[in-house]
A = this chain, B = another copy of it.
């Protein structure tokens, strides 16, 4: 192993490879802290050629390897099993091209998700997939995990915005898949790599679709006595053919955790649940949609509905949602996070059944979810049960 480390240092420079136990500690797991494995080394390549050199060296020494982005994933995709080498992509963080006319960008894997939207802003464009961790998570990790986010409902997940990929295969060869037009000869293998957790290769650049910024955004916060009436409102919105940009439900336990944390957003801690609705599109089209959502929420039993008056208030509404995981760290020393997907129409039923099961076994449960596309984030203290799998 020390020969492999020496070899990696000769390629990556003395700062390009960590191998002391205290340095490796931070790379034992990603956001799924329940499973850990200490890597034998962490390599920091600066570009495709160095990724190839690292892969070649690992191969020569018979050592496994895995790519890692910012380590915010919840599926354990960045854990280096069997004393493997972590290929950390943070030094590959250049935006290689941005084409406003054909609306795409070519980026290295270490580019931070939100950074791309920031750079695209002056052109009236943005990168649509927005995981809640977008301030720190990177495009490479998003590609490996096929990251979704609050706006997946309207804009789709990462896979819907990746036009092409360049990756280093396990034999150190380089392949290019897809391309900026979204049309390329041969089988479309881009989708197989997206969400492949890095098992098919290390992505060294990604060609991403940029989307035009909506003319206007309206953000509503509806307060409900219970989570089922919030779910019923969601069903009503979808049935009427409205397509909000986001539809998020935060339950009472999560509200209380958020309000007791630095993310406090002034939410009523006696509410059973809040529903966050974001609408975007042509300015003239939004007021009637806001009115319809107010009606639907009221009919489902909402206690009140607030509409953000400005960007500051919009951010406050979102803080409750985006800070939920951080805030829930206060609930228990160990958290067990499920990240499950259910058919949208079955959400109220699933919520009711899971809560009943939790009550029966004395589990403390809290729910935060992308209600529009049925993606449930359920959190419970990890001590309460032995999970069968990390995500379902």
Question: Which A positions have Cβ atoms within 8 angstroms of B?
Answer: 99-103, 124, 146, 156-157, 159-160, 180-183, 187-192, 194-196, 200, 212-213, 215, 235, 238-239, 241, 243, 281-282, 284-285, 288-289, 341-345, 373-375
Counting from the closest, the 5 A-B pairs by CB-CB distance are: A191-B191, A212-B241, A285-B285, A101-B345, A282-B285
Expressed in whole angstroms, the Cα–Cα distance for A183 and B157 within the complex equals 10
Q: Taking CB as reference atom, which chain B residue is nearest A188?
A: B191
- Residues of chain B contacted by A124 (CB below 8 angstroms): 241
Least CB distance, A266 to chain B, in whole angstroms: 32
What are 13 A-B residue pairs whose CB atoms fall within 8 Å in the complex? A101-B235, A102-B343, A102-B345, A160-B160, A180-B343, A181-B341, A182-B373, A187-B192, A188-B191, A189-B191, A191-B191, A212-B241, A212-B243
* A281, B281: Cβ atoms closer than 8 Å: yes
Q: Of the candidates B188, B200, B243, which one forms a contact with A195 in the assembled complex, judged by CB atoms under 8 Å apart? A: B188
CA distance A375 to B157 in the complex (A): 25
Q: Which residues of B contact A343 (CB under 8 A)?
A: 102, 180-181
Identical chains in the assembly: 2
| A190 neighbours in B (Cβ, 8 Å) | 191
Asked if A101 contacts B344 (CB within 8 A), the reply is yes
Across-interface contacts of A212 in B (CB, < 8 A) = 241, 243
> Given A183-B341, A285-B284, A285-B285, are A101 and B191 also a contact pair (CB < 8 Å)?
no
When A187-B192, A188-B159, A188-B194 are in contact, do A102 and B344 touch as well, CB less than 8 Å?
yes
* Chain B residues with CB below 8 A from A181, complex form: 341-343, 373-374
For the complex, give the distance between the alpha carbons of A160 and B155 in Å. Answer: 11
**Which of B157, B191, B213 is within 8 Å of A241, CB to CB?**
B213
Whole-angstrom distance from the CB of A197 to the nearest CB of chain B? 9
Closest chain-B Cβ to A234's Cβ sits at a distance in Å of 11
The distance from the CB of A217 to the nearest CB of chain B, in whole angstroms, is: 14
Q: Which B residues are in CB contact (< 8 Å) with A195?
A: 187-188
Expressed in whole angstroms, the Cα–Cα distance for A155 and B392 within the complex equals 29
Sample of 5 further A-B pairs with CB below 8 A, known A182-B373, A183-B375, A189-B192 = A101-B344, A146-B188, A157-B182, A188-B192, A284-B285
Q: CA–CA, A288 to B283, complex, Å?
A: 11
* A282 partner residues in chain B, CB cutoff 8 A: 281-282, 285, 288-289
Shortest CB-to-CB span from A109 to chain B, Å, is 19
Question: Bound complex: CA of A259 vs CA of B146, how far in Å?
Answer: 49
> Nearest chain-B residue to A183 (Cβ)?
B341
Cα–Cα distance between A285 and B345 once the two chains are bound (Å): 29
**Min C-beta distance of A347 to chain B, whole Å:** 10
Closest-by-CB residue of B relative to A389 is B185
Residues of B contacting A192 in the complex (Cβ-Cβ under 8 angstroms):
187-189, 191-192
Q: Which residues of B contact A180 (CB under 8 A)?
A: 343
